């Protein structure tokens, strides 16, 4: 979720990282299936099955 936008994306973990556990901090690349307006520093939530499973902030926008 970016502000009020719900958009699906694919999370790519860094090489050598198989999974993340609660409390872990990890930098990942997320590719969205639809383009949306966003800016560096924008906070977002990662949800799965109606539950929040992660949160973060946009560090870099790759076009």
Tell me: the pLDDT tens digits for 7-39?
A: 999 999 999 999 999 899 999 999 999 999 999
Task: State the pTM of this model.
Answer: 0.82
Work out whether strand 29-32 and strand 9-12 pair parallel, antiparallel, or are unpaired: antiparallel
d(CA 12, CA 20): 12
Give the CA angle between residues 39, 7, 10 to the nearest 5°: 90
The per-residue pLDDT for range 48-63, each reduced to its tens digit, is 999 999 999 999 999 8
> Could you tell me if 9 and 32 are in contact, meaning their C-beta atoms sit under 8 angstroms apart?
yes
> Could you tell me if 54 and 45 are in contact, meaning their C-beta atoms sit under 8 angstroms apart?
yes
The correct answer on CATH 2.40.30.10 for the domain covering 9-57 is yes
């Amino acid at each position: 979720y970016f502000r009020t936008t719900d958009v699906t994306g694919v999370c790519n973990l860094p090489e050598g990282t198989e999974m993340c556990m609660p409390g872990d901090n990890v930098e990942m690349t997320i590719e969205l299936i639809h383009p949306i307006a966003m800016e560096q520093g924008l906070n977002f939530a990662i949800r799965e099955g109606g539950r929040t499973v992660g949160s973060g902030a946009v560090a870099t926008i790759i076009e």
